[in-house]
Amino acid sequence: MRSPPLAGLRVLDLTRLLPGPLATMHLADLGADVIKIEDPGGGDYARVAGAVHGGVSYFELVNRNKRSLTLDLKQAAGVDAFMRLASAADVIVEGFRPGVVDKLGVGHAAVSSLNPRIVYCSISGYGQDGPYRDRAGHDLNYLGYSGLLDQIGVAGGAPAVPNFQIGDLLGGSLNALVGLLAAVVDARGSGRGRYVDVAMTDGVFAHTLFPLLAVLGLGQALPRGEDLLSGGMPSYGVYATRDGRHFAVSAMEPKFWQTLCTTIERPDLAAFAFATGSQGQAIRRELEAIFAQRSFAEWTAVFERVDCCVTPVLRFEESLDNEQLRARGMIVEVAGVKQFAPPFKISEHPFEARRAAPAAGEHSVQILGEAGLSTAEIDELRSQKVI
């Protein structure tokens, strides 16, 4: 069997909560040796704060396949131990506010002077420079500054708050992976690492393509719910069924729209797939009335027989049991906890849950021993409460 794609990659993970831990879990799932470095005592805040519904913490969902080392970086002995690990590492990921790691003595300049091939990735809300660099923020703030939040929702309503952390996960986790893996490829060839500065606000802003198209063509973004894909075209939208469920209609191509019109026995609507303005709204009202005539189950039976990009809007618990997602192996159990499998399938690399999310400091002795510390040195660190 082939080795995992990232076998041999050593990652020091200083991140907490969600964006950084998810990014490093993807690295761990791909075979990297990810060492999660946590404060002695409580460790990552998500161990407690992540149990938002009183059950499983999201910590367990984003930290599998990692090892945990507790280390007090506010003590000189902790910094020294970290630098010994960093001297042999390939990647460091941190998610503190700008300047914090430098004050601790474990920033990019300090590490790269010791290990020139290190790839050092910083994930923050607004980036390492600019007037907002020191501001606090959360996902909703990043969506607000990027202009995206103003675009989400129905016409005439308030901005909708998504139950999906677009800034954290798209802006933070996935963009960090792109940047740091590109730098790893380069470092393996050149022997020189890079500093990767990822701002979650930048990550959202750089993907708001349709609002930008409106600005370039019209001079301003269209109001919420009025752009082509947010309510402006009847062929793209969400329609309520008789029993209060919904269907997603994405029949933008003429062939799909025509099939939809045939299926609902309204061939007279076939010419209006791209209708906008008052005409588009009139056609949308026609579709609303049609979908309201049947139940969710009835429409599901109807559209399962045709292929025109019209699908049920599933509740999340229904998605967990969806035949397509199950066939793709997207739901796995790790230590009895249901969670998502990696969203990429790579040949000759079946998913393997080598470890459940670790207890804080579970692997401290093992990791420090690998770094060359003696049993006596490790015991001294423990006595000083460095680990």
Question: Which of 80, 102, 134, 138 is labelled catalytic?
Answer: 138
Cα(327)–Cα(318) distance, rounded to whole angstroms? 14
* DSSP three-state, residue 36: strand
Asked whether residue 60 is assigned to any structural domain, the reply reads: yes
Asked whether residue 262 is assigned to any structural domain, the reply reads: yes
138 is catalytic: yes
Cα(309)–Cα(298) distance, rounded to whole angstroms? 17
Token pair recorded at residue 134: 């020191």
Q: Are strands 119-124 and 195-199 parallel, antiparallel or unpaired?
A: parallel
Query: Which of 258, 289, 312 represents a domain boundary (last residue)?
Result: 312
Asked whether residue 175 is assigned to any structural domain, the reply reads: yes
Asked whether residue 216 is assigned to any structural domain, the reply reads: no
102 is catalytic: no
For residues 51 and 200, membership in a common domain is answered with: yes
For residues 55 and 179, membership in a common domain is answered with: yes
User: Helix %, strand %, coil % for the chain, to 5?
Assistant: 40, 15, 45
Cα(221)–Cα(200) distance, rounded to whole angstroms? 22
Q: How many CB atoms lie within 10 A of CB 153?
A: 17
- The confidence score (pLDDT) of residue 310 equals 98
Predicted TM-score of the model (pTM): 0.95
Token pair recorded at residue 161: 């708050």
Cα(237)–Cα(161) distance, rounded to whole angstroms? 18
For residues 288 and 142, membership in a common domain is answered with: no
For residues 307 and 339, membership in a common domain is answered with: no
For residue 260, give the amino acid letter. Answer: L
- The confidence score (pLDDT) of residue 54 equals 83
Q: Is the dihedral of CA 103, 104, 107, 110 positive or negative?
A: positive
Query: Which of 312, 337, 353 represents a domain boundary (last residue)?
Result: 312
Q: What is the CATH number of the domain that holds 236?
A: 3.30.1540.10
280 contacts: CB under 8 Å, gap ≥ 6: 232, 233, 234, 272
Question: Which of 13, 29, 72, 168 is labelled catalytic?
Answer: 168
Q: Is the dihedral of CA 351, 172, 98, 162 positive or negative?
A: negative
- The confidence score (pLDDT) of residue 373 equals 95
- Looking at every residue in the chain, the average pLDDT score rounds to 97
Q: How many CB atoms lie within 10 A of CB 156?
A: 9
| CA–CA distances in Å: residue 12 to residues 37, 73, 80, 146 | 7, 13, 14, 30
- The confidence score (pLDDT) of residue 55 equals 86
| Host domain of residue 271 | 224-240+246-312
Residue pLDDT, tens place only, 272-281: 999 999 999 9
For residues 173 and 287, membership in a common domain is answered with: no
Q: How many CB atoms lie within 10 A of CB 316?
A: 7
For residues 135 and 274, membership in a common domain is answered with: no
For residues 140 and 26, membership in a common domain is answered with: yes
Residue pLDDT, tens place only, 309-343: 999 999 999 999 999 999 999 999 999 999 999 99
For residues 58 and 105, membership in a common domain is answered with: yes
- The confidence score (pLDDT) of residue 52 equals 84
Asked whether residue 319 is assigned to any structural domain, the reply reads: no
| CA–CA distances in Å: residue 266 to residues 245, 257, 287 | 22, 11, 10
Query: Which of 265, 280, 312 represents a domain boundary (last residue)?
Result: 312
Q: Which residue has the tokens 């396949």?
A: 65
Query: Which residue numbers in the chain have pLDDT < 70?
Result: none
Asked whether residue 192 is assigned to any structural domain, the reply reads: yes
For residues 161 and 33, membership in a common domain is answered with: yes
For residues 82 and 185, membership in a common domain is answered with: yes
Asked whether residue 217 is assigned to any structural domain, the reply reads: no
Q: Number of folded domains in the chain?
A: 2
Q: Give me the helices (H) in 242-293, please.
A: 254-263, 277-291
- The confidence score (pLDDT) of residue 380 equals 96
For residues 307 and 348, membership in a common domain is answered with: no
Token pair recorded at residue 48: 């407690």
Asked whether residue 321 is assigned to any structural domain, the reply reads: no
Q: Which residue has the tokens 């474990």?
A: 106
For residues 81 and 134, membership in a common domain is answered with: yes
